[in-house]
């Protein structure tokens, strides 16, 4: 039987996955922004969630930094842990997601040039953090004798595949603020990051699938990480669409036929993403019915991947302008809001009674 060892907030118990709450909240403004033409109040709602994202980011980052300096040993242990270490990059990813929110919704409440400048700084810091953590964590997985196949979950995607967030923000920054930022620098960093994230997605994914096929399926707090499996392909759809827009600002590359390429590859990737989402939902419902998956902080792993599906649908529809895709995007955004609300309520309740900080054997 699992026994709670501690309850109540402490910096030491502030686990590396807390920034996932910022990611799960930060994906909402992007999804709502894409659906504002059909549902006008989505725009005002997107600004509200942008403000909420930055509030959460400030709180979580402050606690994250304080813990780093007060409990460096704990950080070191997590960095070398085959499961917990994979969630450390959620902090720079959270910055990148918040920056995307500001880039899209910022002109609604501040000067566009100021928003672009802030996003440019966040892009540099977030990109540096993503690269740093991938260089710190991947060698641990390679070299440690303690890493077993049973440790593999889709949480392993986070350090390597986090590179895919760089082109999402970078290409949008080129498109919306091309006159204020070094376009070619951002373009090269974005495509280099795309290459890193794409190939590591394939390499790491093979090991994760090996665990799911030949070992027991993760249960309990690691079960929600199954949803992370749909995020990489959803993000790749978004990158294709943003690359199609950004290429018009790059004079050295022929862009005549890229829209068709983006449409074809986008449908392929989007189709797999939806298939994986249905699988994830079915597995989750089954686990909830069997009461093998009580609430933990890992439930935030539901939100960002669902949001990524909603955003990828809306992004793909900018290439097709189809009513069906539009309705799917609105439906996915609404579903995202419901899931976010449920997870937020459970999180607040867990914070208030201290159960979310409990350590388990």
Report if residue 4 sits inside a domain.
Answer: no
Give domain status of residue 211, yes or no. Answer: yes
Can you read off the two tokens belonging to residue 163? 């590179």
Full DSSP string of 12-23 = GG--TTTTHHHH
Q: Which residues of 176-186 are buried (b: 16+ CB within 10 A; e: fewer)?
A: bbbeebebeeb
Residue 1 counted as domain residue: no
pLDDT digits (tens, 9 = 90+) for 201-231: 999 888 888 888 787 777 677 788 889 999 9
Kindly tell me if the per-residue pLDDT of 361 is higher than 80: no
Determine the Cα–Cα distance for residues 173 and 119; give it in Å rounded to an integer. Answer: 8
d(CA 132, CA 243): 25
What is the pLDDT confidence band of residue 360, given thresholds at 50, 70 and 90?
very low
Note the pLDDT tens digit of each residue in 66-115. 999 999 999 999 998 888 889 999 999 999 999 999 999 999 999 999 99
Owning domain of residue 304: 11-356
Q: Convert the pLDDT of each residue in 308-334 to its tens digit.
A: 999 999 999 999 999 999 999 999 999
Averaged pLDDT score across all residues of the chain: 90
Residue 338's domain is classified under what CATH number? 1.50.10.150
Q: Cβ distance 93 to 18 under 8 Å?
A: no
Q: Which of 141-145, 149-153, 189-193, 297-301 has the highest mean pLDDT?
A: 189-193
Is 361 contained in some domain? no
Higher pLDDT, 239 or 12: 239
Residue 170: in which H helix or E strand, if any? helix 165-177
Could you tell me if 111 and 49 are in contact, meaning their C-beta atoms sit under 8 angstroms apart? no
- The reply to whether the predicted model has a pTM over 0.95 is no
H or E element that contains 219: none
Other CB atoms closer than 10 Å to residue 357's CB: what's the count? 19
Most confident of 40-49, 222-231, 289-298: 40-49
Overall average pLDDT of the 250-257 stretch: 75
Specify which residues 360 forms β-bridges with.
4
The answer to whether residue 302 is domain-embedded is: yes
Name the pLDDT band for 11 (thresholds 50, 70, 90).
Answer: confident
Q: Return the DSSP state at 309.
A: H
C-alpha dihedral sign at 308, 325, 104, 31: negative
Domain membership of residue 2 (yes or no) is no
Q: Which residue has the tokens 């983006």?
A: 262
pLDDT at 4 (0 to 100): 46
Does 19 fall in a domain?
yes
Q: Quote the distance between the C-alpha of residue 14 and its chain's center.
A: 19
Other residues' Cβ atoms within 10 Å of the Cβ of residue 325: 18
Domains in the chain: how many in total?
Answer: 1
Instruction: List the one residue out of 329, 298, 292 whose CA is nearest residue 227.
Output: 298
The reply to whether 71 falls in a domain is yes
Contact criterion met (CB below 8 Å) for 172 and 242: yes
Q: What are the DSSP calls for 136-195, one per residue?
A: HHHHHHHH-TT--GGG--GGGGHHHHGGGHHHHHHHHHHHHHTTTS-HHHHHHHHHHHHH
């Amino acid at each position: 039987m699992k026994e709670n060892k501690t309850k109540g907030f402490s910096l030491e118990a502030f686990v590396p996955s807390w920034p996932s709450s910022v990611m799960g909240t930060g994906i909402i403004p992007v999804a709502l922004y894409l659906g504002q033409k059909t549902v006008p109040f989505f725009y005002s709602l997107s600004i509200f969630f942008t403000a909420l994202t930055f509030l959460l980011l400030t709180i979580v980052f402050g606690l994250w930094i304080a813990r780093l300096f007060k409990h460096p040993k704990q950080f070191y242990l997590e960095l070398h842990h085959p499961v917990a270490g994979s969630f450390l990059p959620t902090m720079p990813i959270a910055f990148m997601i918040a920056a995307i929110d500001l880039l899209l919704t910022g002109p609604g409440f501040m000067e566009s040039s100021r928003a672009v400048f802030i996003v440019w700084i966040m892009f540099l810091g977030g990109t540096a953090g993503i690269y740093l953590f991938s260089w710190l964590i991947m060698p641990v997985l390679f070299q440690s004798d303690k890493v077993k196949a049973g440790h593999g979950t889709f949480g392993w995607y986070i350090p390597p595949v986090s590179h895919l967030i760089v082109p999402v923000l970078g290409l949008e920054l080129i498109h919306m603020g091309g006159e204020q930022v070094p376009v070619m620098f951002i373009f090269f960093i974005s495509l280099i990051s795309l290459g890193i994230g794409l190939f590591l997605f394939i390499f790491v994914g093979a090991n994760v699938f090996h665990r799911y096929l030949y070992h027991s399926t993760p249960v309990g707090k690691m079960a929600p990480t199954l949803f992370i499996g749909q995020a990489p392909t959803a993000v790749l759809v978004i990158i294709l669409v943003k690359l199609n827009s950004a290429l018009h600002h790059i004079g050295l590359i022929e862009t005549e036929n890229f829209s068709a390429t983006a449409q074809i590859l986008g449908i392929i990737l989007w189709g797999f993403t939806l298939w994986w989402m249905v699988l994830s939902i079915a597995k989750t419902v089954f686990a909830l019915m069997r009461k093998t998956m009580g609430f933990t902080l890992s439930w935030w792993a539901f939100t960002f991947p669902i949001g990524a599906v909603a955003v990828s649908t809306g992004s793909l529809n900018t290439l097709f302008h189809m009513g069906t895709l539009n309705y799917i995007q609105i439906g996915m955004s609404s579903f995202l809001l419901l899931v976010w609300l449920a997870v937020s309520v459970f999180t607040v309740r867990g914070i208030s009674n201290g159960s979310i900080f409990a350590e388990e054997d």
